[in-house]
Structure 1
Amino acid sequence: MAHQSSNRSGNAGQAGSRDPKHGWEAKVTVPPLRVATFTKQLAIMLRNGIPIMQALATLSHQEEYPNFGVVVSSLADRLGRGHSLSRSVAEFPRVFPPLFSAMMDLGESTGRLTESLDRLGDWLERDGDFFRRVKSAAVYPAFVVAVSALLTLALFYTVLPQFVQIFIGMGIQLPVITRVMIFLTDLVRNPGFWMLLGVLGCAGWIGLRRAWARPAGACAIFRILLRLPLAGRLLSYASTARFASAAEISLDTGLDLARTLELGARASGSPLILADAAQIVKSLTQGLQVSEHLGLRAGIYAPALAHFVRAGEEAGDLGIMLKKAASFYEEEVNHMIDTLSAVLEPFLLLGVAGIVGTVLLSVFLPMYSYLGQLGP
């Protein structure tokens, strides 16, 4: 015991020399499913009577994610210095979402920390799976576009330059499509083009990041994304599903309605919903129902959410209807992902075929014209 106490004191002393808010640990990112696994493991260990300090020390051995292990060790250090778990996890907002800290605070105050961890672990796992599926929808199109770009560049660098020299030697009037291809070949092979493209790309990326860092800029960008065909509706449904899911678990755990809606907004991933969180609370203080407020924000939330919430308010069980809304929109997103993949695949393949066909036409049309001039 004395040895454990001295180790704990030593760890606390080391932790006291750094502040996670300003150190590299605060910038650590961990996959949500890894955090979900950690949360469930911690709940199991606490339920079986293992002290929280010992449980965290055991869980700090993260071979696959060593940086996460350092974060868990830091949590143990802070607990050893008398901080609560909710306050400790709040120091790592890029690892633990705001809902995590809020539910830990509620679990500590009610003596139901293990139950809070169980529910939180289930939510993190479900949300992580859902978010990963949404991200995977962009993988196949991005792969096809990348392969098409590489194929086109290979043609411009290897095949077309050789034909350009042949066409020049023919001394014939080249078709428009061939002249365009010659121009593009010269352009792509010019280092200045790539330098200009790199400068413009970097400037655009920096500008987007700076705009996204500001609430008004993030909202403007998100509104543009929501206008995209099919993909915009996918984003709207996905953010609404995450909002409803986080709000449901917060409300069911015992948090007040205003805090519930705030946490749901922060978990949604939508800057529009996040910006509207304060307005929801303001509407509640003015006597409006949540469903009435949502009905006035059709461009921010998916349309049917207001109907789900109104049914929950009338039945006196808002949590159940939020859960049903989350399940409904998650199923819609899954269906849309399958539809998007099925719709995009032929268009992407058609695009690749169009590129190859255009290049072939630009090569064979001059040759056909030249052979026609030679005569029989």
Structure 2
Amino acid sequence: MADGSGITFQYKARDAKGTRQSGLIAGKDRAEATAALKAKGLFPIALEPEGNQATSSSFGGKIAKGGKKQLTAKQTADFLARLAKLAGRQITTERALAIIGEGGDDRISRTALEVRRALREGAPLSRALQSEAGIADPVTLSLIGGAEVSGDMDQALATAADILQSRLTVKRRIITGLMYPGILLTVALASLGLIMVAIIPQFRPLVEDRFDLVPPIGRAVFAVSQVLSTLWPVFLIAILLVSITAWLAARRGLLSGILTKLGAYIPFVRQMVLRNQMMLLLHVLGALLARDVTLSGALRVVSKSAPDGSVKSGMTSITQKVESGRALSSAFKEQKLLPREAIEMIRIGEEAGDLGGMITRTSDDMRDAADRDLERFLLVFQPALIVGVGLLIGVSLYALFSAIVSVNAISF
């Protein structure tokens, strides 16, 4: 029980041989109790106050939904990075926020002043960021919440900013890689539509009287051209509506989820997206474990931040299995979310007592593999797109002129 010397925690841990152990350990807070377990050669899986004693450093608990939505993902990463740099120079958090707030009249500066005001009213930084900056990411809030107890706020802010920046880098890399093919496809479809609507109908009077003599491919092209020529305003309005919907979804952060679900129907794209998602989650898991968060608490945080779908359900199942006594590598192996090489590295980390370090190294290896996957995809996709569009235009023109030649040949 809690006394003047600290709090008694109930723990579940594994030793270097993977044997599961449980018992009680005392510490003034969760960080100190975790350090005491590691000093005994144990890797903590779960660490909870005996008798449900409350501690302000609790990880993996419920995190309330964000309040104001003021900062975008990029602005949040920039804000936390700037705050980490100032905090690393032995400047108090309140003073660092004041310096950022005095920097201008942009959204980040205004948010910094709002967070500072909440701090001066007695709110902890994690709650102030949640209510005033609209930060609802469970990873960020858990890192900062733990630093409020351990005292290394600059490192926690830097880690949170790095994780957010990693997510943005992955999205930016995919968007940049697909931008050229997307522009090419748009221009090609527009050109093909112009040919169907404005050019091919002008040749129809030449074959109108002998349309039954036109080859099947020619009749198909003329039929498509007639439909497009009649309904082009409807298609144009539909394209505009889809474009506006996509723009609004992107503004609200929903577009990436929609594209991910659509890409799930393509095996190669599904594998590439899964590798990127798991790389980010392992990066988060490694960062949390490096900050003395218990494995159970870190997995709960990672599960909350996982994207909806098979990854989220898989991480939730892994969390439950680990909390029931299974080894992390064994739980990952059953879910088939990671390649065999990654699971082997996690197994080595469990046996060597450096699970956090090996998970971080696994994340780095998966990032390199994800970059190679994206490069291969673009190397194949871009030429294939060019060839496909060229074939569409070539077939349309071939069908058109073959129809004209066939009718003229019969006439003579």
TM class, shorter-length: 0.7 to 0.9
Number of residue pairs the alignment of both structures matches: 338
Amino acid at match of 1:30: T
Could you tell me which residue of structure 2 aligns to residue 305 of structure 1? 342
For 1:62 and 1:195, locate their aligned partners in 2 and report how far apart those are by CA, in whole Å: 48
After TM superposition, the structure 1 = structure 2 runs for residues 78-227 of structure 1, keeping only pairs within 5 Å, are 78-91=118-131, 95=135, 97-168=137-208, 173-191=213-231, 194=234, 198=238, 225-226=263-264
Amino acid at match of 2:161: G
Residue 293 of structure 2 is aligned to residue 251 of structure 1: no
Q: How far is 1:308 from its partner? A: 2.0
Q: Which runs of 5+ in 1 are unaligned?
A: 1-19
For 2:398 and 2:76, locate their aligned partners in 1 and report how far apart those are by CA, in whole Å: 54
Could you tell me which residue of structure 2 aligns to residue 239 of structure 1? 277
For 1:70 and 1:29, locate their aligned partners in 2 and report how far apart those are by CA, in whole Å: 10
For 1:276 and 1:93, locate their aligned partners in 2 and report how far apart those are by CA, in whole Å: 31
Q: How far is 1:84 from its partner? A: 0.8
Contact 2:115 2:133 survives alignment (8 Å): no
Residue 361 of structure 2 is aligned to residue 332 of structure 1: no
Contact 1:311 1:321 survives alignment (8 Å): yes
Residue 333 of structure 2 is aligned to residue 289 of structure 1: no
Q: How far is 1:121 from its partner? A: 2.9
Structure 1 224/43 Cα, relative in aligned 2: closer, same or farther at 3 Å?
closer
Could you tell me which residue of structure 1 aligns to residue 82 of structure 2? 41
Q: Which of the two has greater helix per residue?
A: 1
Structure 1 175/136 Cα, relative in aligned 2: closer, same or farther at 3 Å?
same
Q: How far is 1:90 from its partner? A: 2.7
Residue 279 of structure 2 is aligned to residue 279 of structure 1: no
Q: 2:267 is matched with which residue: 209, 212, 229?
A: 229
For 1:314 and 1:191, locate their aligned partners in 2 and report how far apart those are by CA, in whole Å: 66
Could you tell me which residue of structure 1 aligns to residue 58 of structure 2? none
Percent identity at matched positions? Answer: 17
For 1:171 and 1:135, locate their aligned partners in 2 and report how far apart those are by CA, in whole Å: 46
Q: 1:55 is matched with which residue: 81, 96, 102?
A: 96
For 1:92 and 1:137, locate their aligned partners in 2 and report how far apart those are by CA, in whole Å: 35
Contact 1:240 1:302 survives alignment (8 Å): no
For 1:184 and 1:95, locate their aligned partners in 2 and report how far apart those are by CA, in whole Å: 51
Q: Deviations over 1:285-314 (max 9, x none)?
A: 32111111111101x444443222111111
Q: How far is 1:223 from its partner? A: 7.7
Amino acid at match of 1:272: S
Q: Deviations over 1:128-164 (max 9, x none)?
A: 3233213333323322222222111111221112112
Q: How far is 1:317 from its partner? A: 0.6
Larger relative contact order (CA 8 Å, sep ≥ 6): 2
Amino acid at match of 2:357: I
Amino acid at match of 2:123: H
Q: How far is 1:122 from its partner? A: 3.2
Structure 1 39/191 Cα, relative in aligned 2: closer, same or farther at 3 Å?
same
For 1:151 and 1:196, locate their aligned partners in 2 and report how far apart those are by CA, in whole Å: 14
Partner secondary structure for residue 322 of structure 1: helix
Structure 1 338/171 Cα, relative in aligned 2: closer, same or farther at 3 Å?
closer
For 1:22 and 1:290, locate their aligned partners in 2 and report how far apart those are by CA, in whole Å: 31
Contact 2:318 2:335 survives alignment (8 Å): no
CA RMSD of aligned residues (A): 3.3
For 1:325 and 1:92, locate their aligned partners in 2 and report how far apart those are by CA, in whole Å: 35
Could you tell me which residue of structure 1 aligns to residue 72 of structure 2? 30
Amino acid at match of 1:263: V
Structure 1 227/170 Cα, relative in aligned 2: closer, same or farther at 3 Å?
closer
For 1:320 and 1:175, locate their aligned partners in 2 and report how far apart those are by CA, in whole Å: 67
Structure 1 224/185 Cα, relative in aligned 2: closer, same or farther at 3 Å?
closer
Contact 1:241 1:268 survives alignment (8 Å): no
Could you tell me which residue of structure 1 aligns to residue 354 of structure 2? 317
Amino acid at match of 1:124: L
Amino acid at match of 2:220: V
Contact 1:39 1:120 survives alignment (8 Å): yes
Q: 1:348 is matched with which residue: 385, 388, 395?
A: 385
Q: Deviations over 1:256-302 (max 9, x none)?
A: 1112122333444353222233322321232111111111101x444
Q: How far is 1:92 from its partner? A: 6.8
Partner secondary structure for residue 137 of structure 1: helix
For 1:93 and 1:289, locate their aligned partners in 2 and report how far apart those are by CA, in whole Å: 38
Structure 1 69/149 Cα, relative in aligned 2: closer, same or farther at 3 Å?
farther
Amino acid at match of 1:38: F
Q: Which of the two has greater strand per residue?
A: 2
Structure 1 315/266 Cα, relative in aligned 2: closer, same or farther at 3 Å?
same
For 1:61 and 1:372, locate their aligned partners in 2 and report how far apart those are by CA, in whole Å: 81
The normalised TM-score by structure 2 is 0.72
